Structure formats: structure tokens, C-alpha cells
């Protein structure tokens, strides 16, 4: 794949797993690969919002604390000492198998396994979460599981409403994220941080800006409103929009999360909170 272009000026992951898992909280993950004539599911997410490169504003610098150094091994007699060296990180160009194998130890769900089969995992993840931190979904950079079935609406009293039955279409994705241990993802972040810093530096960011992007992406998920009542829609051509101007003005990622339903959004926010806490309070 072509590497993401470096933004001009000084413009502003989750570790790869972070991004994919939540996606990333990541992940965030929700898109439809059907054509508009087959599935009128698009809700005010124009094609330009999934461009492969973002010109983002400068991200405030932040710091995710480093994981503490492991305690020194007790002194033992030479014949009793077991030599156990931590695995060495490969270069970013040769890191796919190394990262993928360790992520699959954290989550072996079929959906998750499919997400991490792509190449250039670290760079794709960095680009994806650079977009996510600004509320933009770069589905062409990191394709994730589309919802099952077709987008459904119903009419009542002359108005168009989002069907609650749509929420079940995201079950596979939600289950894959819910079964991801965020403490392990945070440890993976700290372990593979040099690779992530390389990917972000190629886009023009320094390590503190990278931390800001990671936390901003998580906060974008946490800021999504929980809508319990039925959601009213309007329709222009094949595009559905939220009738409420406040909902229609939300960033694309938050509008996607609304489509998963209030319970699924809560589950994702619980995982996002767990990840944020694990990153900021390493053990």
C-alpha cells in the first residue's frame, strides 16, 4: 500500500490493537459495503469524509505514562538461572507477522482475526486513528466488518424512523470488541510504542502528539450521546439524515455509533473507558 502522505507544517493507537479493537473502540468501525441502490444506509456521511488522507489541525500534546520497568530478577546460582530475554521489535516494514501473532493471543475471535489480516498494520492503524481523533472514518485505510443485512426504516405519522432492529446488525463487531482485554491492549501499546512512534513521525507528529491523538480518539467515542428514544430521519435522494440538527451535526464516527443503538454504544464506551484507564495507569 502507499504510505500515508505527510501533512504539511506541524499538523497533528492506539497501538495497532487499540485501534483495531476499538476501533480499535476502534474499529469504529462500522460501515456498509453495499451499493446505495441495495442498501440505503448512508446517513450524512459524504464520500469525501472517507478520504485516505486528512489535513488535521495541530493536536495538543499529551503524555501517556510509560509502563514501569520490570523488577530486577533475584540473584541465583549460575546453574539455576533461566535466561529469558524479551522479544526484539522488528523494523516497521517487517512488523506485520510480529504484531499480528501477539494480537491474536489477546483476541482470537474470527472477526478480530479478519481485521488484522491486512498488510502494513502499524501504518494503517496510525492513519486510521489520526482520522478517528478528528471524527472521520477512514474505511478505505482499514476496512472492518460491515453490518449484516440491510438498513431498515419505518414510517409513522408521515415521518421516517430508524428501526431498532438495525442494532442487531452490529452484533459480531460489538462481540469482538467486548471480548478484547483492554489491559492487554495497553501493554501491547507500551511494548510496540517505538513502531507506533515511527508511523506517526512519518505523518509529521512527535511522540507527545501521538499520545494526544490516541486519547482524543478514545474521547471521541466517549463523547457520543446515548439516545434511548426512537431516532427520526429525513431522506434526500438515497441519503438518510438525522432529522435532529444536533445529531446531524455530530462527527461521522459518532453518527455511526448512534446507528449501533444505545446498548451497543454503552458497551463500546465501557471498553473505551477501560482502555483509557489502562493506558494512563500502566501496571
pLDDT (tens digit per residue) in 42-51: 443 333 333 3
CA 206 remoteness from chain centre: 20
Residue 217: CB atoms within 10 A of its CB come to: 29
Residue 282: per-residue pLDDT? 81
In a domain, 81, yes or no: no
Does residue 82 sit within a domain? no
Confidence label for 4 from pLDDT (cuts 50, 70 and 90)? very low
Residue 266 makes CB contacts below 8 A (sequence gap 6+) with: 226
Query: Does any domain span residue 57?
Result: yes
Angle at which helices 207-222 and 262-280 cross, to 10°: 150
| Average pLDDT of the segment spanning 181-193 | 94
Check whether 147 has a pLDDT greater than 60. Answer: yes
Lowest mean pLDDT among 70-74, 87-91, 128-132: 70-74
Q: What angle do CA 194, 176, 56 make, to 5 degrees?
A: 45
The number of domains in the chain is 1
Write down the pLDDT at residue 205: 96
pLDDT at residue 87 in the model: 73
Helices (H), ranges, 179-283: 182-191, 193-202, 207-222, 245-248, 252-260, 262-280
Range scoring the smallest mean pLDDT among 70-74, 94-98, 109-113:
70-74
Grid cell, residue 174, equals 460489538
Extract the C-alpha cell encoding 36: 446505495
Would 212 be classed as within a structural domain?
A: yes
pLDDT at site 143? 74
Which domain range does residue 44 map to?
Answer: 16-68+89-280
Position 172 confidence tier, pLDDT thresholds 50, 70, 90:
confident
Considering the domain boundaries, does residue 44 fall inside one?
yes
Share of the chain above pLDDT 90, in %: 50
Mean pLDDT calculated for residue range 96-107: 94
User: Residue 154 region, left (φ>0) first, then alpha (ψ -120 to 50), else beta?
Assistant: beta
Instruction: Compare 109 and 28 and report the one with higher pLDDT.
Output: 109
Is 1 within a domain? Answer: no
Q: What's the whole-model pTM score?
A: 0.74
Cβ-in-10-Å burial (0-12, 13-18, 19+) of 54 comes to buried
Supply 205's cell numbers: 507528529
Region 90-99: mean pLDDT is: 95
Nearest CA to 206 out of 52, 26, 24, 58 is that of 58
Position 228 in a domain: yes
Residue pair 257/268 in contact by the 8 Å Cβ criterion: yes
* Mean pLDDT within 251-270: 94
Radius of gyration of the chain (CA): 20
In this model, does residue 7 exceed pLDDT 60? no
170 within some domain: yes
Amino acid at each position: 500500500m502507499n504510505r500515508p502522505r505527510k501533512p504539511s507544517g506541524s499538523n497533528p493507537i492506539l497501538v495497532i490493537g487499540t485501534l483495531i479493537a476499538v476501533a480499535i473502540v476502534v474499529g469504529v468501525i462500522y460501515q456498509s459495503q453495499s451499493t446505495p441502490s441495495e442498501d440505503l444506509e448512508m446517513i450524512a456521511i459524504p464520500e469525501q469524509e472517507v478520504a485516505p488522507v486528512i489535513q488535521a489541525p495541530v493536536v495538543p500534546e499529551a503524555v501517556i505514562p510509560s509502563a514501569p520497568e520490570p523488577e530486577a530478577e533475584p540473584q541465583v546460582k549460575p546453574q539455576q538461572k533461566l535466561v529469558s530475554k524479551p522479544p526484539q521489535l522488528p523494523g516497521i516494514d517487517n512488523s506485520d507477522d510480529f504484531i499480528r501473532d501477539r494480537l491474536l493471543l489477546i483476541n482470537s475471535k474470527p472477526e478480530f482475526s479478519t481485521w488484522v489480516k491486512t498488510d502494513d498494520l502499524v501504518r494503517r492503524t496510525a492513519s486510521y486513528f489520526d482520522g478517528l481523533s478528528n471524527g472521520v472514518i477512514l474505511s478505505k485505510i482499514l476496512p472492518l466488518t460491515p453490518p449484516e443485512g440491510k438498513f431498515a426504516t419505518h414510517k409513522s405519522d408521515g415521518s421516517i424512523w430508524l428501526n431498532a432492529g438495525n442494532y442487531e446488525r452490529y452484533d459480531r463487531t460489538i462481540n469482538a470488541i467486548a471480548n478484547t482485554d483492554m489491559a492487554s491492549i495497553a501493554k501491547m501499546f507500551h511494548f510496540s510504542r517505538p513502531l507506533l512512534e515511527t508511523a506517526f513521525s512519518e505523518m509529521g507528529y512527535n511522540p507527545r502528539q501521538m499520545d494526544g491523538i490516541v486519547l482524543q480518539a478514545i474521547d471521541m467515542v466517549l463523547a457520543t450521546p446515548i439516545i434511548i428514544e426512537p431516532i427520526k430521519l429525513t431522506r434526500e435522494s438515497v441519503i438518510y439524515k438525522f432529522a435532529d440538527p444536533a445529531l446531524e451535526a455530530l462527527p461521522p464516527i459518532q453518527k455511526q455509533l448512534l446507528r449501533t443503538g444505545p446498548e451497543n454504544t454503552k458497551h463500546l464506551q465501557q471498553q473505551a473507558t477501560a482502555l483509557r484507564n489502562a493506558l494512563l495507569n500502566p501496571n
